[in-house]
Structure 1
């Protein structure tokens, strides 16, 4: 970069090394942290003001990771805030995905770089014969940590299509603001991804996970960070879902934009409904990617016949990645339930045990399903049943192994590359994913 930001945070020596795909070299399994305050943030109208105000109040450090950053009114406001923070001496590190942020211009990056913002791109690549070649193994996380005191995590990117005034294509999405001890884990994780040498604040230590946690609301304010990489933590988020589904006794609500999970998740969703749990899925009815709706619908018959209630959200594209189980367990993050998120992308979610947060999320999803969704009947149409059964059979059995197969795709050693504005010249492309 043109200038190195001043490090103002007291730090300890290197704790671990960073690997080429942005993962941590040592196995860090973040445990449950108690005593946290949580706020559900729905859509850009709630998310952007909270994040931007925290960034404006930053005094020491800003760590920001996002899959998409566009040069629209949201991206330009973020750029201005980050430049102002860097100019007043705040250490600012921005990590972007080379695929999701392919539309950013050289000038946009240069302005950040010249102000002292450390900008780095995950797996940058130009088009080859007019096509993108870096489709897989994306940096798909959305994390912001400010001064190691407040953190945000969820599915919301920095783009105007998360605001209602964007129009019919505005996305429906969720994030959470975290205050309390769990911020130390989010800070440690984000810092561990932000450079070849990982240094962390004094006082961070591994938390052991309690041997048994029930979903009845014992110990409100419990938070645990789970993440997916292509090394030691390939299935942590999926395992968290599986564990929650197996323990479910009353209700399960999953709202997920891209729903095409493997057989294990489908089986546990089915099993929960079979033992009398009220299971509701909220899927895309007006998708931004048409194939997402088609893929999810191939699974409907298998789930509907077991009593799973399926809603399709039809007001605008659903982009959320949230779920709740019983009265206390919830999860919010970047991970979809499809092969890209479960087998290839770098993802991060928080698991939450908190009755108040669970109830708030339930009420918002219930409002969505009652007022803006259509419910799928068990026998959606008698016509074409043979085709549906045949295709469903093939899809169902392919899903037993599909996540593992996609994990075999060449890794091509994606890297997190620091960007100076001179290097940006000639790197322009487009994506809306």
Structure 2
């Protein structure tokens, strides 16, 4: 029995570009729930999937064959067998170790499995390092959506041990779910139709909602075509308008100069700016890169915390008392210049306060704070090197586009028929 797994490269526009080049406006009247770590996230997602009647759309960077991955597989198989349309879009790098038997079970049950940029190892080394499908989105029956930084793996649960990740996602119910559903369908290559035919592309909206009401949500994303800087611009715009406070908790922090300047400028005009970074990173280079920027930010009053209880995997931020963002995008060259990412912007005071209290608890109880006055360590030289590295990375999509693994193509791949 062959296992048919589609190979999809969605960082290039498809034949019908209108289905992919999408902008989404603010949607009001949404209910937003913060989900912290796998203990809150997995039960909510699995409950929604078990209750699905028509459709489950899933995108994830990582799916492991562990207790979380096996439970997800069983839920998807059961849903497909009862007639639910199930589409699972997986990243070829993050999910590259999945066995043929695991994929076969999904395919035989009727789950449509799509692998973004799969590549076999060359001399035992993976070749598909760049342009990852890094989004984490689940939409069930176009009625409830989940988005954030949490993958389907047991290392997002506390019982995993010292290496369990600290992370965040949100559950959304309301009009914004239609945008997440539309986006997930379009990115999976499926037809996106409404009662009036193809959905028209709306006018590109302003990044800042002016309404005083709560429950506002806007989907933003980055690709390597028309939306390269949307997430970065949202951060810059929000920080430029900050009046009282700004908190950024990000696993991999190595942004470009424009975003660093807005962080610094906010602190200079009296905004209480806090950064929560990794103190025990799963990638040591991430910590070293972030620390290259510390002196530049500390000297202007930015408060920097390093989370030391376990690896920080979150990608969240808040500004003042009503603006927040949660999603998959880090603030480093991979996320800001290479990966396929998605965040939601949220204007909601209750949600903002809930996220603020969670991050304050983290900073107060589980972080070490960098001293305001550190001995200068050639900060100007390190900052210059950092800028050069970042902007070289920003042009990497062009370079990696020359590699065979990243030529845009959409075709089925037949996996071996033998048992594993």
TM-score by length of 2: 0.91
- The answer on 1:266 being equivalent to 2:260 is yes
Q: Tell me the residue number matched to 1:380.
A: 374
Structure 1 residues not aligned, in runs of 5+: 5-17, 429-433
Q: Tell me the residue number matched to 1:407.
A: 397
Are the structure 2 counterparts of residues 228 and 211 from structure 1 closer, same or farther at C-alpha, using a change threshold of 3 Å? closer
- Which SS does the other structure have where 1:409 is aligned? helix
CA distance in 1, matches of 2:88, 2:40: 22
CA distance in 2, matches of 1:398, 1:280: 24
- The answer on 1:80 being equivalent to 2:74 is yes
Q: Tell me the residue number matched to 1:116.
A: 110
Q: Tell me the residue number matched to 1:166.
A: 160
- Which SS does the other structure have where 1:175 is aligned? strand
Q: Tell me the residue number matched to 2:328.
A: 334
- Which of 315, 318, 338 is residue 312 of structure 2 equivalent to? 318
- Which SS does the other structure have where 2:182 is aligned? helix
Could you tell which deviates more after superposition, 152-161 or 200-209?
A: 200-209
- Which of 230, 233, 237 is residue 231 of structure 2 equivalent to? 237
CA distance in 1, matches of 2:263, 2:12: 32
Q: Is the 8 A contact 2:60 2:134 kept in 1?
A: yes
Q: Is the 8 A contact 2:139 2:145 kept in 1?
A: yes
Cα displacement string for residues 90-143 of structure 1 (whole angstroms, at most 9, x for unaligned residues): 000000000000110000000000000000100000001111111000000000
Q: Tell me the residue number matched to 1:11.
A: none
CA distance in 2, matches of 1:19, 1:126: 16
Are the structure 2 counterparts of residues 152 and 22 from structure 1 closer, same or farther at C-alpha, using a change threshold of 3 Å? farther
Q: Tell me the residue number matched to 2:282.
A: 288
Q: Tell me the residue number matched to 2:37.
A: 43
Q: Tell me the residue number matched to 1:394.
A: 385
CA distance in 1, matches of 2:247, 2:183: 28
The alpha carbon displacement at 1:414 in A equals 4.7
Q: Tell me the residue number matched to 1:99.
A: 93
Are the structure 2 counterparts of residues 23 and 282 from structure 1 closer, same or farther at C-alpha, using a change threshold of 3 Å? farther
Are the structure 2 counterparts of residues 170 and 424 from structure 1 closer, same or farther at C-alpha, using a change threshold of 3 Å? farther
Q: Tell me the residue number matched to 1:366.
A: 360
CA distance in 2, matches of 1:22, 1:90: 29
- Which of 68, 83, 90 is residue 84 of structure 2 equivalent to? 90
CA distance in 1, matches of 2:274, 2:237: 17
Cα displacement string for residues 183-224 of structure 1 (whole angstroms, at most 9, x for unaligned residues): 0000000000112x5223437665556658467x71211110
